[in-house]
A and B are shown apart, each in its own frame.
Chain A
Amino acid sequence: MALFARKDRIPIPPKDAQKFITVCQYCTVGCGYYVYRWPVGKEGGLKPEENALGIDFTKQGVALQTQSITETMHNVVKGEDGKLYNILIVPAKDSPVNRGNYSIRGGTNAQAAYSPTKPTRDRLLYPMVRVGDQFMPVSWDEAIDLIARVVKGVKDKWGPDSIAMKVYDHGGSGAGFEENWAVGKFFFVAVGTRMLSIHNRPAYNSEVWGQRERGVHELNYTYEDARLADTIVLWGSNPFETASVFYTEQMLPNLQGATVEEKKKEYMKGEPAEPARMIIIDPRKTSSVTVAQSVAPDRILHLRPNLGTDYVLANATARAVWEKGWWDKEFVEKRTDLKTFEDYKKKSLMLDVPYDEFMSRVERLTSVKREDIEKAAEWIAKPKAGGFRRRTLIIYEKGVIWGYKNYDTIAAIAQLAALTGNYGKPGTGCGRQGGHQECYFRPHDKSRAKLVGSIYAGGPPPNIDEYVKNDPRAKVYFVSGTDPYLSTPNSQAYKKRVHERTLALTRYLSEQAKLAGEPAGSEDRAKRILEGLEKTSGLLMVVIDMYETETARDAHVILPAAGWGEKPTTSINCNSRLLRIYEQFMAPPGDAKPDWWIFGRIATRMKELYEAEGNYEEAKYCAGMDWKSAEEVFLDGANEFPDNRVSEEDEAMLPAECYKGVTYEYLRKVGQKGIQTPVRIDPKTGQLVGTKRRYVHKFGTPDGKFKWYGTDPWDPDPMKFYPPQITKYFQDGNDKKFPFWFTNGRSQIIWQTGYNDRHLPEKVYTIPLPYIEMNPEDAKRLGIKSGDLVEVYNLEGNAIALVYVNDAPPPGMIYGTMYHWKGSLNHLTTDYTDPKTTIPWYKASRVAVRKLKGNLEDVLKNTSLLPINDFTT
């Protein structure tokens, strides 16, 4: 009777069930989990002494205390030994990150595991090579040989930059230090290309050079700071939906006053400790705003700037702090570089412009009222009773990272924190919320291509989306762990061009096959591909992924990747840089392999090919990648970290991810407690020590001082402020044609492209289509209701979406899911990138909305259309 098969009992793990330690495969928070595994057919008893969990299952559990176990946390999988096992994957109560809490994404970790009898059977099982319009399964030997020969041939003939890539740089989602290290070694050293790009953006760059070039890594606070802060600022971040447990388990208790005792322990003597205030800067009234308002309406300040004006707003807040004399003089003088401070005062704070005049310009551009900006300044920096400094934690994310003028925006926020002394103390910090978990570590020092930073550090880096779209010098394109047909900015134009270019090669191969038959084996096939790349403007695409992604439809070779739990891996979370091990508890589907194995094998095959022709010089660069185990890769990477036998003060100079000295055995021993990176080896004791909070003593610059930066001048007239990609929408009558602002983001329910979620019935019913949110005022005027279907379109592209009417977006603004397996709203984003960093501006364009005739009955019947941001009773 239910919409899909439900369970009303699940098997109980017996006392001797195996127990594995792991971390959620999804978001930045990195909640700890345990996996219990036991043979199918066996079951434990209801009494606590009869089951592995030690729970009395004869009694009803107690809310918030008893271990949560849901239907979605059980599955049956195949072990590495080929036997069938029950698995139960439950949130760890002894994890400091989640304390037994979990979210709608992580709660399905078990349900999403590969099973040949469940919808996840869609996983890729074997390597496949395109022949005409089909994919044919081949052996790994054949596929690896083909790729190695093509990469080598292209590189020898056209140089390393003919090889381009778009590959993840994150942790979680099946990736970890092992995969990241292998990807880096392969592309930086074995190939040596500079045509690199990261999964979610067109170039190879940091999302936050504006902060890093100040001497601050974006992962600097610890999750406890969200419990200890006097004020939490969420800037362009919606953690209830995108860092769910961090919000409900760490921030909400602070808002509710449940952490006052913890504060008293960490604060100075006599310092007031009260429930937190929260400032949220977001044009939408997100659920992070409305949940917070339902907890403490008087302590929530919601600022709704016009899209793309955040750096002006951040500077204006800093200016208000300055005018009121609330800045932290002692911190600025001791910890920051006073030479560059002058530049900041002049350009960012614009002290030459009288305050009233300055504020009226800010109000005009941002639409945020002066009194609200001043209130924000007060909540961030006005000293508490007794003259104690307020402790403010500023957490920012994609609302500003994917904003206009990425570099200046991130710099402005990072500097607001420095001006108010909010680094390196309990309850402070300024950094990313995070999307994925992290574990970026690659051999930058050994890269054969010159890798650049922002425009102030040799950059900006090249835009690889444009390169593969338009430059015939791009010959081979690797795409791994990402689905740019959905996710890249301006994706409609992108996939059209990538399709045309990959098709040009496919056509050539088909024509040759007509004349001379299909090539016999990988060596011949590689030859023909190289011919094709010479004679056409074609592009060879290799996709490495867990599923046959949308992008894979145009690939020439598809390689099946092992996912989470199908190999051991390691990673850190974003909110405390907590390094833990994610153990393997099942076999990968079919012949799927870890990415480190795949890249290692291609490099090793290239080495053999170079050796065979006597080119030992090139062969050398492909060496050292024939890894046998994940831990071998982990330790190989560790060798490249700088010497970490340094004092506590010198943690500031270590890479944020430094884990030198850590082994799998160590991680198994510390379990959910993990260790916070950067890890040091204490020079006195020789023991491994983690870093709770960064920059307590020094910043990561040669002299240890925070470096200021004067942001760009700006004009209060929007037509002079915005770039041509936006102003074109206000010219030639376009303002009437495209009357809405458009911005985008994520839903709590699904993870990224829904590569797993699209197979889970709960998710498919709840989020059946890409959707938009529309304000009730606009909806009324256009005669649109929740559940209607609309076409959203502009000069970049179009998309079809389901409508939810709610008051999250202000009137005149449409919000949409960034992408969904049934369509991408990134068709509507412009091709703007920040000239300083090549970071795109996903979060703003202009659109029109047209209602489609009729509805989809299934959606109206089975999908909830209730407003997701109303928590009032």
Chain B
Amino acid sequence: MFMTKISRRTFIGGSAAMSALLTSPELVKALTSQPYSRVKVANIKNLRVGEPVSFNYPDKDSPALLIKLGERAYGGVGPDGDIVAYSSLCTHMGCPVVYSKKRFLCPCHYSMFDPAKNGQTYQGHASEWLPQIILRLEPRTGDIYAEGVEGLIWGRVRNVLKVTKK
């Protein structure tokens, strides 16, 4: 159910109460334990299929990649449900992953993660799937916000290193 959070159905014709619930910051908090901030990371107008956008989240030391996959993805936002974002530190030993041919590939020991399938390690050494970043699309402006991370970012024991006052 949560997967279709901002699917076309929800934001065009879905029940108002439902979409309010699904996009409320309270719910995001309930699903994750850390005090994530809400950060604008891209605008839908600037996205091209297969061209990753890098940003840092939840802080400057945590690189992430946003990608419009061109096919419906698990947890994807946007009219086609194909926009997803992930921590780009390989969960194996922390090397930066690269995006190519619809997957993330780590050049250090060759782990490969499927961004359409919740960051699943479908080959390689990484036991932990790539942490997926919860995105929210502001339909009016087309802005895409990062609102939380599901899964432990490599090199940390808690995703939010310093709690800053909003």
Contact = CB atoms under 8 A, between A and B. Distances in A.
Interface of A: 1-3, 6-12, 46, 57-64, 66, 68-73, 100-108, 111, 240, 244-245, 248, 252, 287, 291, 294, 748-749, 762, 765-766, 861-864, 866, 868-873
B94 A66 contact: yes
Contacts of B48: none
Most chain B beta carbons < 10 A, residue from A57, A59, A63, A240:
A63
B127 A6 contact: no
A527 B45 CA distance: 81
A248 B127 contact: no
Contacts of A59: 61, 161
Contacts of B124: 104, 748
B57 interface: no
A107 B161 contact: no
Given A60-B62, A63-B94, A63-B95, A10 B101 contact: no
B134 A1 contact: yes
B32 A762 contact: no
A57 B153 CA distance: 12
Contacts of B132: 1-2
Contacts of B100: 872-873
Contacts of B117: 3, 765, 862-864
B8 interface: no
A10 B33 CA distance: 10
Contact of A62 (B5, B94, B153): B94
B58 to A, nearest CB: 10
Interface stretch (B13-21, B102-110, B138-146): B102-110
B44 interface: no
A63 B96 contact: yes
Contacts of A244: 125
Interface string B66-93: 0000000011000000000000011111
Interface string B123-162: 1111111011010000000000000111111111111011
B7 interface: no
B112 A57 contact: no
Contact of B110 (A58, A248, A864): A248
A374 to B, nearest CB: 31
Of all A-B residue pairs in the complex, the 10 with the closest CB atoms, nearest first, are A61-B155, A107-B127, A63-B94, A9-B158, A864-B122, A864-B114, A60-B61, A70-B128, A873-B100, A868-B123
Given A58-B162, A287-B123, A7 B152 contact: yes
A70 B22 CA distance: 28
Most chain B beta carbons < 10 A, residue from A6, A10, A111:
A6
A61 B125 contact: no
A866 B93 contact: no
B155 A66 contact: yes
Most chain B beta carbons < 10 A, residue from A11, A60, A252, A862:
A60
A379 to B, nearest CB: 23
6 contacts: A1-B3, A2-B151, A57-B156, A64-B93, A873-B98, A873-B100
Most chain B beta carbons < 10 A, residue from A1, A61, A248:
A1
A70 B31 contact: no
A245 B127 CA distance: 13
A873 B94 contact: no
- Dominant SS at the B interface? loop
Most chain A beta carbons < 10 A, residue from B5, B96, B100:
B100
Contacts of B162: 58
Most chain A beta carbons < 10 A, residue from B109, B127, B134, B152:
B127
A27 B62 CA distance: 33
B152 A70 contact: yes
A9 B3 contact: no
A866 B118 contact: no
Nearest to B148: A8
Contact of B74 (A3, A6, A8, A749): A3
Nearest to B74: A3
Given A104-B126, A871-B112, A762 B105 contact: no
Contact of A8 (B75, B108, B123, B158): B158
Nearest to A10: B157
B121 A64 contact: no
A244 to B, nearest CB: 6
A103 B121 CA distance: 11
A695 B101 CA distance: 48
A104 B94 contact: no
A294 B92 CA distance: 20
B119 to A, nearest CB: 9
A869 B103 CA distance: 13
Contacts of B109: 101, 248, 252
Contacts of B153: 8
Contact of B127 (A9, A10, A58, A762): A762
B108 A60 contact: no
B157 A6 contact: no
Contact of A2 (B5, B110, B118): B118
Most chain B beta carbons < 10 A, residue from A3, A69, A71, A870:
A3
Given A1-B134, A2-B150, A3-B118, A60 B155 contact: yes
Most chain B beta carbons < 10 A, residue from A73, A248, A765:
A248
B35 to A, nearest CB: 11
Nearest to B98: A873
B127 A866 contact: no
B157 A70 contact: no
A62 B155 CA distance: 7
A106 B112 CA distance: 17
Contacts of A866: 102-103, 112, 114, 122-123
Contacts of A869: 123
A25 B92 CA distance: 18
Contacts of B33: 7-9
Contacts of B93: 63-64, 68, 100-101
B10 interface: no
B77 to A, nearest CB: 11
B34 interface: yes
Contacts of A107: 92, 125-128
B94 A248 contact: no
Nearest to A61: B155
A104 B129 CA distance: 10
Contact of A64 (B95, B123, B129, B149): B95
Contacts of B126: 70, 104, 107
Nearest to B89: A63
A762 B120 contact: yes
A862 B114 contact: no
B123 to A, nearest CB: 4
A107 B129 CA distance: 12
A12 B123 contact: no
Nearest to B134: A1
A452 B20 CA distance: 75
Nearest to B126: A104
Contacts of A70: 91, 126-128, 152, 154
Nearest to B72: A861
A4 to B, nearest CB: 9
A409 B62 CA distance: 52
